[in-house]
Structure 1
Amino acid sequence: QEQEEENIPAQHFHFYDNREAIEQLMGKNSGLFLLIDQASRQQQDTQYMMEKLKQNTKSVHVKAMSYHEFTVAHYTGKITYDATEIVEKNRDFVPPEMINTMRLSSNNIIVQLFTNQLTKSGNLTIVLDGPKTAQKK
């Protein structure tokens, strides 16, 4: 609107709104990533996670296809994922409560390991100190 008021030419374009798909993947109440994390924490298996996914009949973008496969409707099309060991592979998850506890440690090395930002899914991000420079050979 501001560009129109100031007579600045702007090209309007249509884009795919994927908020609903992101919510079905990362939603705090019933997102796919939440289901995987819950199954991991409760020592459940992939079948448990797939049953929970099947129960979520409102999901349009994420659907269980079989006992070990699910599809995600991306903006470019549907992709089928094999979830055979997805819960087991997710068990290396460090709970946010543990990360917060480690940040309170009196050991500076431990604090430094756990001071990076958390992503929305609760994973640590890696922040490298200083600019990267090319090295001479």
Structure 2
Amino acid sequence: MEKMDLNPYLMFDGNCREALNFYHTVFGGELNIMTYGDLDGSCPDGMRDHVMHGTLMGGEIEFMAGDAPEGMPLGTGKINLSLSGFDEASLCSKYEALSENGTIVVPLDRQMWGDLFGAFQDKFGIDWMVNIRTS
């Protein structure tokens, strides 16, 4: 069976452009944004400048995002994005940048399994986990 890709698609309630610009500063890559107004003239005026589809590709991580269309409920928050690896300096930097002005759930610290681990919700309401492997 051919391997499939699983790409996070983050949904926002009107602040997707701000979030994508923030994530772009943290992870780099190429940021592309298409608004609802770019599609055609039939979208409501209030949605014209909202992000219909955005991508952050070619940097340290890749994902897609958009602002939920009017009347479409956002998810229930049952997903965490998880960053993991061996590069302690880089992952600590990501933890600090992404958690700034957010809510720390688990402070970044050594855990019983031996790795450094921390969890938080960023300022846009996205839940993250960072695990720095020691072996």
Q: TM-score scaled by structure 1? A: 0.24
Structure richer in helix, relative to its length: 1
Q: Which has the higher contact order (CA 8 A, sep 6+)?
A: 2
Task: Point out the structure with max Rg over C-alpha.
Answer: 1
